[in-house]
Structure 1
């Protein structure tokens, strides 16, 4: 009898020990896989939404099909929009000391545009515009997504209200009258509302749109990390090379720590199809034979094969919500049609989704979420439209060459373009014919 009692207590002790070691399985096994909100995708959009919802009384499940840290094919550039959103997260408790470590987040002072004929235009943020306090002292950074995304996610693991499920690819979703049921790996999770932050191949976006990719509003990109690429000038800048054969796309070289560089190419998918272009071959040809660029790769070492990715562009106003779900980031097609940057807009959508939820919770059933669409497009729709118009102007390479040449010879025009780069609201001037008339007059 004593032996049986001892065995019983030993088994009970082991049982509770297992519960402590595996909190997630405990919640699922005992029918506690019930959440207020499920966020699918733990990249910048999903993590930002979780940051803004954490501590507000919600029980949140944050799912990702990968285990972090994980690589994400991207240009890795963090723009002014990203910096703005990071400062918002700092108010929520995010420690930005990550940006003091240049091996993880390489600071950049400005960027260089190269026109189709090779004219270079360097644009810098003025000293008065730079941040003087805190950890974000530069207008932009280059950070590998394997590092940046993990930096955003890691603190959320310690949140009492956010439960992170990794290696948890969504296999099935059932939208019921009062809830959404999700099968994720071998788990069943349910919630009142789902946020789709699961990228360009979003399972929720497919449910909403159901149509094939519209190649006029989609770009294809390649990324390849290199070591020892030569940079021109004392301070390496972000470089955008608008080469004639790939317009309205561009070839990029972004500096990173330890003599690394993110090298890549992006091009509108409709143009790739129309001209039967092999993007990998074009990129190889630029690196090996381009008269202006190939010599910069003489001593360079490729650290990987080119990796491809898709960029759903925000050049059309798409629906971004449905019955019990909201779309965020790439899943909502929020990539800048001109620059190809998407991290900042992804984080903005995460913040706005949280704002929408906080304003509606308790008196809204989330069956109709059109107010989120209106909130999001009111915030970023203008920037997207301007970027799309600028992208279309790239079909006139002579105009790009002319403006760059004029900016290099006229401080007034240079200052005007410089403000447009660092102040997105002023970019609308680039799509206005009067801007070019003024450039002509001032030149």
Structure 2
């Protein structure tokens, strides 16, 4: 008899592992297929800055022992100014966090298979997915298949559920450093902070960051999209590694800093409007959709929320007497995604694209504007509230808005 489960999940990242946790806790037979070997997991996929907030940890029962440091403030930097806001957060040890999710899922009853790269869907006579092929010629069958493999998306792509566009791909690199001066007199105090810097000299078309992990240690990285601003300001032949190295060489906060051996993380994600997220017998979650926060690149909380929305949807279907798995019943996932995972997605994507297309001098003005307005204006703008977004715009932004509108019209 072939292996058969209620649900097969491809990928043991935060989204896939959380979906398995939720479903196993409800008593369903779940198998998770992970590409990496168990002894190395998650060496290849240990790519996240892992900055998150207490709301994620409490909502998903994440223990304190996977936290590298707790932070008190979020700092935004421009080339010549900064803005700081009280916002408690946490920087996770991403590898330990992923291992916790796997072990907790196993305790709840989920099965894990490592060295199990998923390659393609298995379809029934009607063309509906009924399982997946993995590890060469191995097959597992399930009533519902969940793709949580991120941008690789082998199942979602084969089913034409997602279309991740190369021009919307963000790439990033991060070092873990020691000897960082987190309270340099020329900058904001980053001793217990997560800092994001908008500066095209450092990250053309994107942003850079410093996340404090201890008294003189931090995660430091850059990320950008190859958008119009990147094309205008990028140095010919410069790699993303070169941009990070250049920042470390120029910024006095890193004058005495040293890289921790083996602590280099690389990753990519797509920042774009999601299309379909489901089909008959199939759901796509996490960065497969994509689900990453468009403004600040935070993917853990969004991915975990998408996993829970998928688990809710599957549970709703399986509690019916006939256990429907057709696209009409699984459409609940799309509804939950837009209501609970990423509400006002279009407005937030608009703000994101305008932010990363703005010139450096506009970032200095933004810092001054934020200091002169109410403390919650940035939070409301970040949620996609149009009135708050409008308060951050100037007449000088009209050419940028017009350029953005022309680009959107041309691509429509």
Q: Please, what TM-score do these two structures have when normalized by structure 2?
A: 0.81
The structure with the largest helix share of the pair is 1
Residues paired across the two proteins, number: 372
Quickly say closer, same or farther: Cα 1:84–1:151, change in 2 above 3 A.
same
CA distance in 1 between partners of 2:71 and 2:375 (Å): 19
CA distance in 2 between partners of 1:211 and 1:180 (Å): 19
CA distance in 2 between partners of 1:77 and 1:171 (Å): 28
For the aligned residues, what is the CA RMSD? 2.8
**2:104 maps to what in 1?**
155
User: Structure 1 unaligned runs (5+)?
Assistant: 1-30, 91-95, 126-138, 438-443
Local SS of the residue matching 2:375:
helix
Q: How is 1:1-12 mapped onto 2 (pairs within 5 angstroms)?
A: none
**1:183 maps to what in 2?**
133
**1:416 maps to what in 2?**
376
Q: Is 2:239 aligned against 1:278?
A: yes
User: What is the deviation of 1:366?
Assistant: 2.1
Greater CA radius of gyration, 1 or 2?
1
CA contact (8 A) 1:171 1:184 kept: yes
**1:309 maps to what in 2?**
267
Q: How is 1:235-246 mapped onto 2 (pairs within 5 angstroms)?
A: 235-245=191-201, 246=203
CA distance in 2 between partners of 1:109 and 1:383 (Å): 27
User: What is the deviation of 1:428?
Assistant: 4.2
Q: How is 1:84-123 mapped onto 2 (pairs within 5 angstroms)?
A: 84-90=55-61, 96=62, 98-99=63-64, 101=65, 104-115=67-78, 117-123=79-85
Q: How is 1:119-134 mapped onto 2 (pairs within 5 angstroms)?
A: 119-125=81-87
Flag as ranges the 4+ runs of structure 1 deviating above 6 A: none
Q: Is 2:310 aligned against 1:339?
A: no
**1:167 maps to what in 2?**
115
User: What is the deviation of 1:104?
Assistant: 3.7
Q: Is 2:92 aligned against 1:143?
A: yes
**1:431 maps to what in 2?**
389
Q: Specify which of 317, 321, 332 is matched with residue 371 of structure 1.
A: 332
Quickly say closer, same or farther: Cα 1:425–1:230, change in 2 above 3 A.
same
User: Structure 2 unaligned runs (5+)?
Assistant: 184-188, 395-412
Q: Please, what TM-score do these two structures have when normalized by structure 1?
A: 0.76
Local SS of the residue matching 2:141:
strand
**1:52 maps to what in 2?**
22
CA distance in 1 between partners of 2:244 and 2:129 (Å): 47
User: What is the deviation of 1:88?
Assistant: 3.0
User: What is the deviation of 1:234?
Assistant: 7.2
**1:440 maps to what in 2?**
none
User: What is the deviation of 1:159?
Assistant: 2.5
Q: Specify which of 277, 284, 294 is matched with residue 320 of structure 1.
A: 277
User: What is the deviation of 1:425?
Assistant: 3.5
The structure with the largest strand share of the pair is 2
